[in-house]
Amino acid sequence: MKINQSRPVSQVRGASAYSSGRNATVDEVSASRNIADTASVMGIPAEEMTPKVRNAIMTLMEEVERMRRDLDQAKRQINELEQLADRDSLVPMSNRRAFVRELSRMISFAERYQVPTSLVYFDVNDLKHINDTLGHAAGDAALKHVADVILSNIRDSDVSARLGGDEFAVVLPNAQEDAAHAKAVSLAAAIHDTPFVWQEHSLNIKVAHGAYSFRPGEDAAKALEEADRKMYAHKQHLKAQEQNPDPSAES
């Protein structure tokens, strides 16, 4: 008796082996199931699931997956660009734009919850001398040195930035102005007492500083202006001290 084959070989051997006659791989079986699931969601009747329709669905699914990968990559790139836009171009700190934004947020927080918060402003006194005598590469290295010392001596909750040029700032949450002034003196001493080494040269860098506590209703520009004013007064004091040295005077 002659026995006829009851099912096409393609139905026995897997989704992607229709014409080749080979056994389907795991990926092909998985793809076939995904196509079947997609067809079910799209409402395509089983009898209309021809090889042409199946290939069209496969192409569509591959395109959707490619678009998903492209979207994920674009999101990562946007996140990286946002981080770069907030970072200083030279030192591992925030730039002025990001700092002012964070300062405004912390001023609002301090006013709402009555948390004493202060701002410390620094200006590097020796940068021009370093640039003139050792070159601008040494000046850049000196700024990195100052930034590293500041970062090594503040809390994780403190916010630091290079405001531009030779100016730096730190926001100290939960610190009254007298405590902020003491911290500024401590940081200035740490910067001075940690020699900056460039090639065969070793220099002690001095910084002027000013500390200011936020007042209700003030904005970031006002806080920076007041801290800068106090820093400038200290800078003038240091200049006068250089002209008339007094061992007992505060540095």
Indicate the class that CATH gives domain 96-243. alpha beta
**Any idea how long the chain is?**
251
Contacts of 229 (CB under 8 A, 6+ apart): 210
* Residue ranges per structural domain of the chain: 9-85, 96-243
Compute the distance between CA of residue 32 and CA of residue 9 in angstroms, rounded to an integer.
16
Residues above pLDDT 70, as percent of the chain:
76
Tens of pLDDT along 79-102?
665 665 799 999 999 999 999 999
Q: What is the pLDDT of residue 8?
A: 43
Q: How far apart, in Å, are the Cα atoms of 201 and each of 134, 141, 226?
A: 9, 12, 36
Locus of tokens 């730039």: 95
pLDDT tens digit sequence for 13-71 = 344 444 444 555 555 556 566 666 655 555 667 667 788 878 888 888 888 888 888 88
Compute the distance between CA of residue 40 and CA of residue 24 in angstroms, rounded to an integer.
Answer: 22
* Residue of 138 and 37 predicted with greater confidence: 138
